[in-house]
Amino acid sequence: MANTILVGAQWGDEGKGKIIDVLTESADVVVRYAGGNNAGHTVIVNGRKSVLHLIPSGILRKNKLCVIGNGVVCDPLGLVHEMEGLAKHGIKVTPKNFVLSETAHVVLPYHRELDSQREVIKGKNKIGTTKRGIGPAYGDKAARVGLRIADLVDSAKLKEKLSARIKENNIVLKSLGAKPLSFKKVFAEYDKAGRFLKPFVQNTVVLLHHAIRRGEDILFEGAQGTFLDIDHGTYPFVTSSNTTAGGACTGSGVPPHRMDRVVGVMKAYTTRVGEGPLPTENQEISDLLHGMGREFGATTGRARRCGWFDSVATRHATMVNGIDDLAVTNLDGLDTVETIKVCIAYRHGKKRYDYVPNDAAILAQCEPVYAEFEGWRTPTDKCKSWKQLPPKARAYLKAIAELTGAKLYIASVGPGREQTIFV
Ligand code: GDP
Ligand code: IMO
Ligand code: MG
């Protein structure tokens, strides 16, 4: 399969987990390179649903090595909880199939508390974060005051560093009117998690380069989406990491010339959870999808905002990520729609945009210019091949791939593994 970076081409929740699970069949190693347990990747195998937050979605296949790379911020309590959850479903996570980078940063309770407090202070300008402490954890990393996994699994280091960080953060928390943290309690919990995780911790950069030398194929599992990227997203309504393809290199230690291709995952429509501009947002399609019980967040349960497919955004994503191949998911979500709209440009006053403007305030004022497609109005969820898809659905898929500027590779017509059409 060669080394493949898989990214979300929209605002997250594109169905990356499902596509990762499908592509893992022909990979040896799956690596998460950015984000933390703000992600929620849904995989449905034989009707059973698993939602992965930190552990790569490749874990559901046997004999695959799953790696959390250095670019991830890891909440150890969340990770242990996730491992226990998988064990209950008979999926054993052992040092043979799961490895954690010693240089990944640790999410601590003061990060979560600060995340929540900052949202309160922002009031109506809030980001709508997942409150998992992601922003403050990456903030500490950049400020060089973060704890890394290597510190977590060494009790003496953890004690020293955590005590200093709790002292400083308690001053901030108190000034915000929040309850200070007890060092003793936090240390006990995190030291316990550190002892549990120690056997999984390795130098993952060296490990990945050894895998490459053995000729193994690596799949890089992106989290979030292009427009949640800290540099390329709709700042400040973004997450705090580089979710785009470049993040796969910095977040894993595998250099650009070892990457062979980029797969972009996008829904056949658009969704976003949290605040910030969404030019094609539309009540009719929101009501339709929510009415079908779809489009509720896998991490926070919040209803996702829904809209028509935005090819200005996905074309921009192709440019920023270098997307070669496209996986279009949730085609079946449009099965009942009479007339399907696709945004082909934005209008802002007299200006017409064919790329996504950097200023979120301008983007919020952009009016979509739509092209219309006739709906196929036939169920697609049982279609097994390109030929079985209704001609109007094929035309729609071809058109959105062409507008996006990459090759149509996969069409997904349901959440299950088997509901996947290779084009
Ligand atoms: P991720 O964060 O990108 O992995 O996406 P999520 O798991 O948060 O959200 C995608 C949702 O769409 C999940 O509920 C998936 O089970 C579901 N899904 C993925 N592909 C398809 C599809 O082709 N059809 C349908 N009906 N659901 C899909
Ligand atoms: P996956 O990997 C969709 C959004 C949040 C919020 C913003 C910042 O499942 O696609 P954060 O907690 O990261 O500081 O929140 O980013 N967000 C996501 N939206 N899918 C995700 O991950 C997301 N991870 C973060 O809703 O708007
Ligand atoms: Mg998700």
Please report the pLDDT score of residue 299 as a whole number. 87
CB 52 within 8 A of CB 223: no
pLDDT of 177 higher than 90: yes
Given this model, what pLDDT does residue 187 score? 98
- For residue 244, the CA-to-ligand 3 centroid distance in Å is 15
The pLDDT tens digits for 352-385 are: 999 999 999 999 999 999 999 999 999 999 999 9
CB of 15 closer than 6 angstroms to any ligand 2 atom: no
Q: Which of 74, 224, 271 to mutate to test the pocket of ligand 2 (most atoms within 8 A of CB)?
A: 224
> Does residue 310 have an active-site annotation?
no
Map 339-352 to HEC letters. Answer: EEEEEEEEEECCEE
Is residue 231 part of the annotated active site? The answer reads: no
Sheet holding 29-32, edge to edge: 201-202, 98-101, 65-68, 29-32, 218-221, 4-8, 261-267, 325-329, 407-412, 420-422
Q: Encoding tokens for residue 346?
A: 């934005």
Provide the pLDDT for residue 385.
98
- Residue intervals of the chain classified under CATH 3.40.440.10 are 4-102+200-262
* 281 pLDDT more than 80: yes
Return the pLDDT at 1: 65
Residues 6 or more apart whose CB falls under 8 angstroms from that of 59 comprise 30, 52, 66, 86, 91, 93, 97, 98
- Measured in Å, residue 18 CA sits from the centre of ligand 1 at 6
Domain with CATH 3.90.170.10 in the chain: 265-422
Q: What is the average pLDDT across 334-357?
A: 97
User: What average pLDDT does the segment 186-202 reach?
Assistant: 98
> What's the half-sphere exposure (Cβ side, CA atoms, 13 Å) at 128?
19
pTM score over 0.95: yes
Per-chain mean pLDDT for the chain: 97
How many whole angstroms from 312 Cα to the centroid of ligand 2? 21
User: Alpha-carbon distance 125 to 284, whole Å?
Assistant: 26
Q: Is 39 in the pocket of ligand 2 (CB under 6 A)?
A: yes
Percent of the chain with pLDDT strictly greater than 70: 100
pLDDT at 63: 94
The CATH superfamily of 4-102+200-262 is Adenylosuccinate Synthetase, subunit A, domain 1 (3.40.440.10)
Q: Report the CATH fold assignment for 105-197.
A: Adenylosuccinate Synthetase, subunit A; domain 2 (1.10.300)
Task: Determine the topology of domain 265-422 in CATH.
Answer: Adenylosuccinate Synthetase; Chain A, domain 3 (3.90.170)
